[in-house]
Amino acid sequence: MAKRLLYETDSISIYYDYAEEWLHVDWHGPQDYDSVTTGAMQMLQCLKDEQCTKVLNDNTLVTTMWSDASVWGGEVWLPLMAEAGCQYFAWVYSPNIYSRLSTDLTLQHSNAGVIVLTFDDIATAGSWLRLM
């Protein structure tokens, strides 16, 4: 896979995948309001810069709850992603139950117009995203 690293911190790595023509976002470790909002806004900027319509958002390595950012994510960030051109968003759950709940809470707060599906593994998420 031909990927280019666009942005990286201790909590997130954002790549552009040339073969798939999507952002591949890898969140890792503990997350909190600041790491989620900072990372999400960087993802938004990368989406704009690369002018792509799809995101593979991988939370497999997220280890904590981040529900304090869920309302912001659903009501502010996802609408901004839609406005920037995001159409399809494959969200891979963390195995951490509290992180999973944070993802679900975010989606409950959103009616952004982005088609978001959640998955338990990255292979299935990628397969769905390829079909869109």
Average pLDDT, the chain: 94
- For residue 113, give the DSSP letter: S
Which of 24, 129, 128, 41 is closest to 84 using CA atoms? Answer: 41
pLDDT(91) > 90: yes
Domain segments of the chain as ranges: 15-131
Q: What is the number of residues in the chain?
A: 132
What pLDDT does residue 74 have? 92
pTM for this structure? 0.94
- For residue 67, give the DSSP letter: G
15-131: CATH class: alpha beta
